[in-house]
Amino acid sequence: MDCKPQTFNGAEGPVGLLRWFEKAESVFAMCSCPEGDRVKFASGTLEDSALTWWNARVQMLGVEMAKATTWDDFKELIREEYCPRDEIQKLEKEYYNLKMEGSEIKAYTKRSHELANKCPNLSRPPSRKIELYIKGLAPSVKGLVTATNLDNQPWIIRLAHKITDQEVERGSLPPRIAATTAITATPDVVS
């Protein structure tokens, strides 16, 4: 079990901050970190300007208030500092307009999850997150997924993947780039 913390220095931008959140929360889960110790642990992984920022917050809040800060409040504070509003607006616009390219459902699903985490205002309540995911699916996939009227995102994602595979097999969606690259990258065997 790797409980090695990832550091954050503030220069990583919104994507780096999200990755840091994900890594910290993964470590919390692996190490059964109590809720009350999460901010203490996370603040111990801050470096450079991020550490300077947190130390200034501690001075401003007072040590006792800083110790009482919840993980969610801490994430919101650091998000406000290192994810400027104009950057968040760009990400929200990308999330709202995100579309599946061809049959690249894995890349689409991954980016949808990343943007949902970065743009909580657009992904709450969960039904809104589902709507945005379905909205960006390829039209032939979107229609079939919508017709099922599911309200469980993991099921919707699995179904979208299955339908995409079927549409590729039928020829109504192009083969996946990763799959065609793997086929063309296979060396020819000479007998």
- The closest of 91, 88, 82, 85 to 47, measured between CA atoms, is 82
In Å, how far from its chain's centre is CA 29? Answer: 17
Exposure string over 128-145, b if 16+ CB within 10 A, otherwise e: ebbebbbebbbeebbebb
Has residue 3 got a pLDDT over 70?
no
Mean pLDDT of 20-43: 90
Has residue 180 got a pLDDT over 60?
no
Distances (CA, A) of 174 to 99, 101, 105, 146, 185: 15, 10, 12, 21, 18
Mean pLDDT of 74-83: 89
Mean pLDDT of 30-52: 92
Has residue 111 got a pLDDT over 90?
yes
Asked if residues 128 and 67 have their Cβ atoms less than 8 Å apart, the reply is no
Q: What pLDDT does 179 receive?
A: 52
User: pLDDT tens digits, residue range 117-159?
Assistant: 878 888 889 899 999 999 999 999 999 999 999 899 999 999 9
Has residue 100 got a pLDDT over 90?
yes
Mean pLDDT of 102-128: 90
pLDDT band at 78 (very low <50, low <70, confident <90, very high): very high
